[in-house]
A and B are shown apart, each in its own frame.
Chain A
Amino acid sequence: MIPGRLTKELARICGRDAVIVDRDRLLVYESDALTAYRHRPGAVVLPRTTEEVRRTVQAVVRHGLPIVPRGAGTGLSGGAVALNGAVVIGTARMNRILAIDAPNRRAVLQPGVINAELSAAAAVYGLYYAPDPSSQTACTIGGNVAENSGGPHCLKYGVTSRYVTGLTVVLADGSVVKAGGQGREAPGYDLAGLFLGSEGCFGIATEIEVGLLPVPEGVRTLLGIFDRIEDAGRAVSDIISAGLLPAAMEIIDGPTIRAVEDSVFAAGYPTDAEAALVIEFDGLEAGLDHEAERATHFCLRAGAREVRSARDEEERLALWKGRKKAFGAMGRIAPDLLVQDATVPRTTLPAILKGISEIGKRYNLIVANVFHAGDGNLHPNILFDRRDRDELERVEHASKEIMQLCVDAGGTITGEHGVGLDKKHHMPLIYGPDELDTMWGIRRVFDPGAVMNPGKVLPEETEPLHANPGQDPASGELVGAPAPA
């Protein structure tokens, strides 16, 4: 709970209905899409403008409370979870598209605009916003900026940071900083770039300028069915090595195929297959068939049992269905999911996949994999039931081993979901004390008092001693049982 005086002050700034302090109501903000972590915030504030955010930040900081920005809460690393009774500043009401500047292919938005809705609005001008996280119908651009989100089509088009050209940010001290802005060369340090992927620890993005692209004229989609996942991995490598640049290459592994086919979302993938590979090309109509033919050839040569292709939008969606429904389908076979997000060099994929399945076997867990194969970005989903204490423990061990395996192969612990609460203890796997120290330092450049989203990204045991005495080390433990109300 926050002090009554603060509640009143916030209500004066944002309006009474924009301040939520009722403990029961706050329950719904206790986690993001990674429900393994639950912490109830002290309050939730829903401002509408940069100025309201600025004054809210000032008021909360004056009362000595930490702040957690929150978009749509679709994050998969616990980033928007409020530790230590922090005040959540939600962007749900900051959902206006301020301008679509079609001649210059750019748009200016409030952070709460939903990714897919920007593309829908831009479609009128024949434009779209390229980064397409699988959660794009729900996640906000502010969340995308904070996580530097990717998506299936980032193989060809690149991730969020490539499209964000300018930011307005409210910092912990209540100052408003503008970085970048298209049409302006921003000499000096790339502050906007530094802010991207900062997971809400540097400030709150309140206005975002992005670049748009013309909607591709044509699309070709292929689905390769493989008996061995290594073969699918080899097809991916061969396609890339041959100089083809598909817009997307996604692999759905055997356990996932079976989960999907057993569910109400059956997509018609053969259940005895060990991998399905979705490949998509886009661009000018001319040449697409040629590229699709070549990719088909590489799939067959790598051992694909069959390669299906889509002629129209309906067929295309059918081929994608197994990929798109995978997460939901897994939700139906197990009460809880832990999604990992490691990226490995593409060439190590076959070995890593084998290793992951062995780890799963060893801990007697179902590990199903759906991933962005073109970038080597894995998403092993560990299925479990949190009510089973023993299983929960095995999940923790398995997840750590998977992470280590990927790091040993030259990979990293997160490719797009961010570190958040979930992976902060894995940071020392890839960074030494000097690097972590420097990250603490850079965090303090933006937020000297550590009030913005504390307890995320950096493990507190690595915090340099001289800083922030009195800051409660926030817990990053999996929640074994429902927290007491």
Chain B
Amino acid sequence: MNNQALTPESTAETREIVLAARAAGSRLLPAGRRTWPGAGGWTRDGGTTVSTSRLDAVHHYEPADLTLTAGAGIGLDRLARIVGPNRQWLPFDAPGSSAGTLGAAVASGTSGPLRNRYGATRDNVLGLEVVTGDGRSLRIGGRVVKNVAGYDLVRLFTGSRGSLGIITRVSVRLFPIPEADETLLFAGGPSEAVSMARTVCTSEVPVAAAELVEGEEVGADRAMVLAVRLLGGPREVEESRRRIRAALGTEPWRALDDGGSRRFHAARIGWEEGASLVARLAALPDRIDAAVAAARACATRANGAQGSAAITADVLQGLVRVRAALPDFDPTRLAETLATARREMEALGGSLTLSHAPPQVGARVGWTGSRRETAALTDRIKALFDPDSVLAPRCP
């Protein structure tokens, strides 16, 4: 499939490709650098990949405005190198790879733990240029940080996963890199860690992000580690550190300062890499214990003989993820486990969605829970932008 990828060099070229595909009745799969193919079950077999990897120019960057406009194919790593010297960054830490593209990050629309401090991906996308499935090229939003002119199509495209159009250009809001970046790692047994997480959730300390991770992934000898990230001015961070320690009544197992903290979190972005099953369990933050338990059950079942399954939780958002490699597994039993977990989560008012799964499992369990009431709207939106289904299937 790699060798058939089309790599347009301009929006106009992208448009020609779409128009040609539409005329020929063929299918296209929008993609970035394809570091993360097949995510979410929204892609499908067949079709030609259109990669934005060559649309990677920086069109506009005015550091004092803290905004940047670039081609969708620019790698997040390269973007960081461009804005870094001005002590600026784009705090996108959604699961994926740092080699992923800006356009793909917007198209997938997921957010990482920093969402708590900086808002979700969609809060920081200011404008887009897209080529829709019916071959129109649209410029929506703008490059100023506040803009309510017209309906918010930018939000619609953020997270639309290539089902409405191919994103060719993106304007984003940047942030100053905080003077201090620190991560405190608290280790504990499974229930201890969860209870620490809940304490952090309700504390008044302005925590930038908080994640539960498997102890062994970070070399701790306890089952779980709670990673609390503090960002801000040095005094604020120092005070926060003091208060977090007081609130938890314990010393951190380890404290990572600037470089260490950044490296730790950069590594977390790739946590899902190589997994063939990724499930996301969401609940209100005060039910994180139930979500962690349900996730653990899935992980245990998915483990099979290999035992590589793991969980992680973004405790401030109430989001728990399960990852498994699944070299050998029983699809029926796995599907049952996932279905049970989904029922449990839905009973709590939460949800379970699959971002990666073997097709037979995905088909059996369903990638998402049912959201029938919005189905009619969703169909009409899909029809508005991609009436002939040239692009990826509509979002569920």
Contact = CB atoms under 8 A, between A and B. Distances in A.
* A touching B, CB within 8 angstroms: yes
Contacts of A439: 150-151, 153
B336 to A, nearest CB: 21
Nearest to A179: B374
A74 interface: no
B349 A183 contact: yes
B140 A243 contact: no
A410 interface: yes
B151 A457 contact: yes
A103 B202 contact: yes
A475 interface: no
A445 B384 contact: yes
B191 interface: no
B256 interface: no
Interface string A279-308: 000011111001100000000000000000
A265 interface: no
Q: Which of A217, A432, A436, A438 is packed against the most chain B CB atoms within 10 Å? A: A438
Contacts of B252: none
Contacts of A346: 64-66
Contacts of B367: 187
A182 B155 contact: no
Interface stretch (A28-36, A61-69, A354-362, A414-422): A414-422
A343 to B, nearest CB: 4
Contact of B384 (A105, A242, A416, A438): A438
Contacts of A416: 146, 148
Interface stretch (A48-56, A80-88, A153-161): A153-161
Q: Which of A159, A189, A287 is packed against the most chain B CB atoms within 10 Å? A: A189
Contacts of A201: 151
A345 B149 contact: no
A256 B236 CA distance: 36
Interface in A249-297: 283-287, 290-291
A1 interface: no
Interface in B89-142: 109, 119-120, 122-123, 132, 136-140, 142
Contacts of A126: 204
Given A187-B396, A188-B395, A345-B65, A411 B144 contact: yes
B378 A189 contact: yes
B87 A188 contact: no
B143 A187 contact: no
A148 B149 CA distance: 10
B149 to A, nearest CB: 5
Contacts of A177: 373-374, 377
B156 A103 contact: no
Nearest to B179: A243
A336 interface: no
Interface string A359-402: 00000000000001001110000000000000000000000000
Nearest to B198: A103
A434 B136 contact: yes
A101 interface: yes
Contacts of B270: none
Contacts of B144: 343-345, 375-376, 410-412, 415
A290 B205 CA distance: 19
Interface in A177-204: 177-179, 181-191, 193-194, 196-198, 201-202
Contact of A412 (B142, B235, B396): B142
Nearest to A291: B233
Nearest to A238: B64
Interface stretch (A109-117, A312-320, A324-332, A423-431): A423-431
B377 A446 contact: yes
B311 to A, nearest CB: 16
A117 B137 CA distance: 44
Given A241-B63, A286-B238, A291-B233, A184 B282 contact: yes
Contact of B153 (A159, A181, A283, A442): A442
B361 to A, nearest CB: 17
B142 A214 contact: no
Given A345-B143, A445-B380, A413 B351 contact: no
B147 A412 contact: yes
Contacts of A343: 144-147
Contacts of A427: 149-150
Contacts of B261: none
Contacts of A291: 233
A464 B249 CA distance: 65
A398 B377 CA distance: 41
B208 to A, nearest CB: 12
B284 A193 contact: no
Contacts of A2: none
Interface string B47-73: 000000000000000111111000000
B156 A193 contact: yes
A240 B206 contact: no
Contacts of A417: 148
B283 A183 contact: yes
A415 B146 CA distance: 5
B151 A198 contact: yes
B353 interface: yes
Interface in B369-396: 371, 373-374, 377-378, 380-381, 384-385, 395-396
Given A183-B282, A183-B318, A243-B176, A418 B155 contact: no
Nearest to B285: A104
B331 interface: no
Contacts of A411: 142, 144
Given A187-B395, A197-B152, 17 more contacts: A103-B285, A104-B286, A104-B318, A185-B280, A186-B371, A188-B378, A241-B64, A243-B87, A284-B205, A346-B65, A346-B66, A347-B65, A375-B144, A413-B149, A437-B136, A445-B381, A457-B150
Top 4 nearest A-B pairs by Cβ distance? A193-B155, A243-B176, A287-B235, A286-B239
26 contacts: A159-B146, A183-B285, A185-B319, A188-B396, A190-B109, A193-B152, A193-B156, A202-B151, A214-B206, A245-B175, A245-B176, A283-B232, A284-B205, A284-B240, A346-B65, A347-B65, A376-B144, A376-B146, A410-B144, A423-B149, A430-B149, A435-B153, A438-B138, A442-B151, A442-B381, A445-B381
Interface of A: 101, 103-106, 126, 147-148, 150, 154, 158-159, 161-162, 175-179, 181-191, 193-194, 196-198, 201-202, 214, 217, 237, 240-245, 283-287, 290-291, 343-347, 372, 375-377, 410-419, 423, 427, 430-432, 434-439, 441-443, 445-446, 457-458
